[in-house]
Structure 1
Amino acid sequence: MKIRLVFLVGLFLSFNSLVSGQQRPNFVEFINSQHDWVDSVYNKLNKKKRIAQLFMVRAHTNLGQNYIDSVAKVIKKEGLGGVVLFQGGPVRHANLINEYQAVSEVPLLFALDGEWGLGMRLPDSTVSYPYQMALGAIQDNDLIYRMGREIAKDFKRLGLTVNFAPVVDVNNNPRNPVINYRSFGEDKRNVTRKGGAYMKGMMDEGIIVSLKHFPGHGDTDVDSHHDLPVLSFSRERLDSLEMYPFRELIKEGASGVMVAHMNIPSLDNTPNLPSSLSEKVISEILKGELGFKGLTFTDAMDMRGVVKYFKNGEADVRAIIAGNDILELSQDSKRAIKAVRKAVRQKRIDKDDLERRVKKVLASKYWLGLDNIKPVNLQNLYSDLNRRASLQLSQTLADHAITVLKGKRKLSELSFTRKTAIISIGTNELSPFQRILNDRLDNELPFLLSENATADEVSRVSSALRNYDQVIVALHDSRTRPGSTLRYNSTVKLFISQLASTSAHFVLFANPYTLASLPGIEAANSLMIGYQNDETLQRAAAKVILREIEATGKLPVTVNTFFKYGDGQ
């Protein structure tokens, strides 16, 4: 039977008016205070289920009913504290949330990686905002605050309570395989301003956020999903750069921080010890020196970066010893809970400290109003998650991100009546960018070249261009995760270089770092950056060409000596 609380009427009225109305209690202060509901729930749980409140299990709704049912059994039997949702569909997710809340003795936290909104995990049926790299180009941070609020509204509508976002890693390594376009860029202050706006928007709507990945995952060329990265930087460097956004946003009341799996000898010289398992990194630096008192989440505990050297549940035990409040995606939660209980008996884990952390997790549920939980309403769910205001804001963000790196005056001289060739490279079908311009430019003709176009295909397009007065070239990266280099073959790259030496105008719908892999592109007549192969960014670039908007974005990273941080005309 689900635990309920009869508590003081005054507290009930006060808290519920705050949750539903004008002012919400400060999260960090709230979860570190005593509450009757929390004590009541805690006292009714056995030792195993108290520990289980610190664990979140993985769930999908695209893997079949048997999978969904198996996770439900684990939640019910082990009494886990939360669920991290991955791929599936919004209605299926809502049904799953209702089912899991119904079988759980204590209301569950539901989290999702929504760095660019629900679309990060549910791309086919919910709104995706621009990636953080594109947002890093925007000069109006209020737009990002508004985005945070819209994303939080979507989370609440679906029954989610925690967003593992924003990423506040300072990406100063173009070869970074795991952060990269997920970062606001290379400037610590710009990252802090953007991350703060996003964070406050979500928190003001009542969602728990998780800044990631402490103490900073931006300057590594190893993906911690597959191995343990080693950061060899000095403590001074980490203090002044990587940890800067976390320090500043903790001061601004961040509700959660996620700790990365990285070995950092200058912070803890224990061989092969990930930062997520380091007492020095979490208890001494994050909680002690930086004064963080919100919820500390581990990154996923099934990642190779954390379990490579600590197997059979030892990683989970060490994560608790280190000071984490919530462990995300243990390889085996049953084994982990048993190992933690053993560590308590062996006095490796302090019993009183463990109790405080369990009560912090319960208090976060109380802050969210989960003491009075209601099922997710399925009626109009799809339309509610695809609000006109959200779609308009996504386009507005794209309009403000688009960046002209060179040739702004020449771009403005493009004629709407002269014979124009529009070439899309890296795609096999007519792009939204081409379709928009097709409707507005006279005497135009679109051309398509794949990333592996043959010499004959390139030659035919090259010959045809002699019949046109002006040429617009769109460079696309069709991958879901835009890499730092384009997969164009050498023939296509040579053609791009040749076009750049003419009067052609270029638009890049890809990661800005890819400019370094295109020799000669710096000579282009004009060059505009759209950051990703997304319809909103393509529409924004077309608007600039059609002189419907003015590009105001600034490059958030340095690509090479030709294209540097802050460039934008």
Structure 2
Amino acid sequence: MKKKLALILFTLFVSYSNAQTVDPLLTKDVEAQRVWVDSLLTNMTIDEKIGQLFMVQAYSNLDKKHEDFITEMITKYHVGNLIFMQGTPEKQAELNNKYQDSAKVPLLIGFDGEWGLNMRLDNTYKFPWNMTLGAIRNDSLIREFGAQVGKHCKRLGIHVNFAPVVDVNVNPENPIIGNRSFGESKENVTEKAIAFTKGMQSYGVLANAKHFPGHGDTASDSHHTLPVLNFDKARLDSIELYPYRKIFDAGVASVMTAHLNIPSLEPNTSLPTSLSNNVVTKLLQQELGFNGLIITDGLNMKGATNYATSAEVDLAAIQAGNDLLLIPQDVPASIALFKKAIELKTLTEERIDFSVRKILKAKYWAGLNNYKPIKQEHIHEDLNAVEDELLHRKLIKNALTVVKNVNGNIPIRNLENKKIAYVKLGDAENDSFVNMLKNYTKLDVISDNNLAGITKKLKPYNFVIIGFHKSNDHPWKSYKFTDKELVWLQEIARQKVVVLDVFTSPYSLLQLKSFTNIEGLVVSYQNSKLSQELSAQMLFGAFDAKGKLPVSIGENFKEGTGLVTSKLSRFQYTIPEEVGLSSKKLAIIDQFADTILKEKMAPGFQVFVARKGKVVLQKSYGYHTYDKTFKVKDSDLYDLASLTKILASLPLIMKAEEEHKMPLSASLRDILPSFSNSNKGGVTVKEILSHVGQLKAWIPFYIGTQDSITGKNLPTFYGNKKSNKFQIKVAEKLFITKSYKDSIYKYIKVADQREMAGYKYSDLGYYLFKEALEVKYQKPLNKLVDETFYQSLGADRTTYLPLEKFTRNDIVPTEIDDYYRNQLLQGYVHDMGAAMLGGVAGHAGLFANSNDVGKIMQMYLQKGFYGGKRYLKPETIDKFNTRYYADKKVRRGLGFDKPQLNPDIKATCGCVSDISFGHSGFTGTYTWADPESEIVYVFLSNRVFPHMDNRGLIKSNMRTKIQQAIQDAIIE
């Protein structure tokens, strides 16, 4: 054994210590650092010095026996350093303080947190793996990531984090590095590692470049055996050592030596590189000139332990030139052997002093000269902050990589022409991906036990998204397709337009023999919730793809491949802080919700908030009804009531005005010649939209079809089933005579005008707009607005006659009607006049969920543009969002409601800008958009349940109080 060990003389360390001009362990107050180090070193016994060389494994999830063992290591054997492993941050903080209190010299605390503290600790934030980060083009984000990891480490009293991995992963079959590497390009790996290092060390946490001299082209795992690298020195210089030279110049504070067998560097093939003087001293310190802290890889790994006894391995590591022994297995035996070696002069105290001095310098560098216990309050909140998710989102958005994009299928456009199916491959969860896809358009999940069943079910679809989902638990999990999945993928791609989205290592694509039939190929790298959600958003053009492949996929796609896609100005879905809103301040909405539900203002409701084109709150509260059978879901549809005016009639009127089919100056007799002789014939479109046309507020048409004494519906007008006479469905088992539609228009035509001029809100004009639009475009209003707007907007949950498209349980009941239809209204329009027209009217009849209402309002906010398509001209939006009768104290624009001019009226919270616009609905609905704050707000409820005399929501002004809360949440 002794013959195998090189005699290292202190003079050698003196000679090569000047080889590197940069000493990364020196601080700005170098003289104070020297004095502190010297004062400690001078007063140490040989046992205390030797103890400083060990970094012992400590857990925060084990029992008191383990805690006592660590305390003994510190007090009896003078161990100077700990590496914390599994546990929780709260317990680690507690133990850290306890162990530091036991130490004579402050302990250097290490941690293995390549993707953050979550690599070891429960309930901490999990950032992406290096392979994901390797896809990012903007290295400043990697620096930001390093800084955030450093901030977490500092908060938990960690002084050295064993990251970054600088291994260049040129071997796709590498079993231990893989996703832990930034990729196969030495330049990309180096740039990312330097950026990470600078970020983390800016928080006073030592970075650690590993695994020297390079573990990226190994086919075995050094945890279990000694990997062999049969490369000559020239090859190692060219690839493996390249990042180290650069990162040393950048000031990395420490290096980890790997357990490898590299014959070109160490001729003794049984001697791991971590124990080789040729590697650690001659190559690392003398040739490369590294003056920082040198730490072994874990000495519990088979790549090291197979060499000799644990004590002999520890001694060999020091004699090779390492400073710090990571996870030694027998500290007492090692101390005894070190002292024996000093007696035998195979080790000198000067050699020990050399490493202890560096360790103490590192401790000073990390601030241990001014040690303070960790504050244990609010650790969870500090380690799981909003800033962490904001950064995570930026990292993922910049990593997502479009590798192939035939015919511009990504982002997905022209939704009106797409019938989209989703097929899952892989064995991990996919809910976040599917749910987010459904936010953009109608999408059906197709599954079957066999390929024939899948292909049959896919026949009606012309666009298929295939998601390949593998475990995101840790980077060593299997990422491969099964043979069955490969067959399914190719067969589906042969028949359909396919976009394949891979939520695992890009190396999984090496299994594909052909990409010919796959039109779109996306690598999302990991199957995290955020990766799934953001990848779905990118597919629909919410933001552009920017990532590039960090590794090659055979000869098909080379490293660096990455197509930049366009963004289509569709909604993004994120957290409030990304758009300058406070989550904490928005939380008051939950308190309002509790009040609404407790005081039975409504059985349930939806709240939706977007800012700057990003949805930050989409939440459902309560139940469909007070029996609490069905919880309200974000996808549920509500009767929008008068929101129909601005979400169905108004966009069509705007379009017609642009096409000169319905000019604002046109009179009713112009757009409906049948009104030529009516007392309303001269009323203009502009006056009707502004509610100054002297029309009555409404006409209760249904009363004229009922017995004046009993209030029962007269059989002259109604039947309980559809027939040639009773063709118009009013509600369940209630049909009205087909001729009554003409009667409605006749009643409007002959109705007296209001004698008093000025403002009066009226539904009647919208009955007439429906008729005029249908005549102009020769299509029913419901089909016209669906084809012109909703389909391409992806507003697939916005519709008239919802029972024709959705199940009853998808639709929130509106009212228990005991005055006309005498039934629970669920899926049938609440407004009586709209019901008598068969559920399709210009003033009411529309059903939707809050997400879809938000899309339409966002289209308005974006001056008529959404999803890559221009629906309306900007000048048209401005024209209709203008008060034309403000001099008469009329707050309304054209169709749009506007903020109140009279402070006693509560049309809004009074906190929105004068250029804002929106509308409210009788059933308890409300939506508002403000171009100044860029906020879209939607509130949908069935406040009229069980009966429309329930006015608690209106009296309390809850809808506008929530609007105020949103405005108050603005922090920038």
Fold shared, TM-score > 0.5 on shorter chain: yes
Structure 2 distance, partners of 1:134, 1:155, is 21
1:429 to partner: Cα distance: 4.3
**How is 1:54-203 mapped onto 2 (pairs within 5 angstroms)?**
54-122=53-121, 124-203=122-201
Deviates more, 1:309-318 or 1:194-203: 309-318
The residue type equivalent to 1:349 in the other structure is L
Whether 1:495 and 2:488 are equivalent positions in the alignment is: yes
**Most deviating of 34-43 and 351-360:** 34-43
- Asked if the contact 1:428/1:448 (under 8 Å) is kept, the reply is no
1:372-451 to structure 2, matched below 5 A, reads 372-407=370-405, 409-417=408-416, 418-427=418-427, 429-442=429-442, 444-447=443-446
RMSD: 1.9
Mapped contact 2:165–2:193 kept (Cα < 8 A): yes
Task: Quote the residue 2:227 is aligned against.
Answer: 229
Contact 2:428 2:470 in 1 (8 A): no
Judged with a 3 Å threshold, the aligned counterparts in structure 2 of structure 1 residues 26 and 276 are, in CA distance, closer, same or farther, namely: closer
Residues 430 and 405 (structure 1 numbering): CA distance in 2 closer, same or farther, change over 3 Å? closer
What is the distance in 1 between the residues matched to 2:276 and 2:346?
14
For 1:29, what is the secondary structure of its paired residue? coil
Alignment-derived partner of residue 475 in structure 1: 468
SS in 1 for 2:100: helix
Tell me if structure 1 keeps the 8 A contact 2:230–2:264: yes
The 5-angstrom pairing of residues 35-46 of structure 1 reads 35-46=34-45
Query: Which of the pair has the greater relative contact order for Cα pairs under 8 Å at 6+ separation?
Result: 1
Secondary structure, in 3 states, of the residue corresponding to 1:411?
coil
**Offset at 1:407?**
0.9
Residue from 529, 534, 548 that aligns with 1:535 = 529
Q: Residue 366 of structure 1: SS of its match in structure 2?
A: helix
When residues 269 and 500 of structure 1 are mapped into structure 2, their CA distance, relative to the original with a 3 A threshold, is: same
8 Å contact from structure 1 (residues 27, 367) kept in 2: no
In 1, the alpha carbon distance for the partners of 2:371 and 2:287 equals: 37
In structure 2, relative to structure 1, the CA distance for the partners of 1:176 and 1:539 (3 Å cut) is same
- The answer to whether the Cα contact below 8 Å between 2:176 and 2:476 also exists between their aligned partners in 1 is no
Q: Secondary structure at the match of 1:184?
A: coil
Preserved CA contact (<8 Å) 2:462 2:497: no
Question: Partner residue of 1:509?
Answer: 503
From the superposition, tell whether residues 366 and 525 of structure 1 become closer, same or farther in structure 2 (CA, over 3 Å): same
Q: Deviations along 1:396-438, whole A, 9 cap, x unmatched? A: 0000000000016122344444332122222364421111112
Secondary structure of the 2:290 match is coil
> 1:471 Cα shift?
1.1
CA distance in 1 between partners of 2:261 and 2:480 (Å): 32
- Going from structure 1 to structure 2, the CA distance change for 1:153 and 1:217 (only over 3 Å counts) comes to same
Separation in 2, partners of 1:315, 1:428: 42
Secondary structure of the residue aligned to 2:338 is helix
Q: Residues of 2 paired with 1:426 and 1:347: CA distance?
A: 60
Quote the residue 1:553 is aligned against.
547
Aligned to 1:28: 25
1:49 aligns with 2:84: no
- Which protein has the bigger helix share? 1
* Aligned ranges 1:213-224 → 2 under 5 Å: 213-224=211-222
Name 1:258's counterpart in structure 2.
256
Letter in 2 for 1:199: T
Amino acid paired to 1:46 = T
Per the alignment, residue 341 of structure 1 pairs with 339
Q: Does structure 1 conserve the Cα–Cα contact (< 8 Å) formed by 2:162 and 2:210?
A: yes
Q: CA deviation at 1:458?
A: 4.4
Name the CA shift for 1:498/1:483 in 2 (closer, same or farther; >3 Å): farther
Q: How many angstroms does 1:521 deviate by?
A: 4.2
Counterpart residue type for residue 104 of structure 2? E
Distance 1:486 1:154, change over 3 A: closer
2:457 aligns with one of 451, 464, 468 = 464
- What secondary structure is seen at the aligned counterpart in 1 of 2:465? strand
Indicate conservation of the 8 Å contact 1:424/1:431, yes or no. Answer: no
Shift of 1:446: 2.2
Question: How many Å separate the matches in 1 of 2:445 and 2:414?
Answer: 16
Aligned position for 2:561 = 567
Q: Encode CA deviations 1:27-83: one digit per residue, 9 max, x unaligned.
A: 433499772222222233221121110100011112233323322222222111111
User: Runs of 5+ in structure 2 lacking a partner?
Assistant: 1-21, 564-972
Identity of aligned residues (%): 39
Counterpart-to-counterpart distance in 1, 2:486 and 2:105: 58
Larger Cα-atom Rg: 2
Q: Which runs of 5+ in 1 are unaligned?
A: 1-24, 450-455
1:355 deviation in Å? 0.8
The alignment partner of 1:78 has SS state of coil
Native 8 Å contact 1:399 1:551 kept in 2: yes
Distance 1:273 1:186 in 2: 27
SS of corresponding position for 1:474: strand
Question: In the alignment, residue 471 of structure 2 is paired with which amino acid?
Answer: S
1:434 aligned partner, one-letter code:
V
Q: Kindly provide the amino acid, as one letter, of the partner of residue 529 in structure 1.
A: V
Structure-1 separation of matches of 2:384 and 2:411: 35
Q: 1: distance between equivalents of 2:79 and 2:283?
A: 28
Alignment check: 8 A CA contact 1:174 1:484 kept: no
Aligned equivalents of 1:271, 1:567: Cα separation in 2: 39
Count of matched residue pairs = 537
Other structure's SS at 1:208 match:
coil
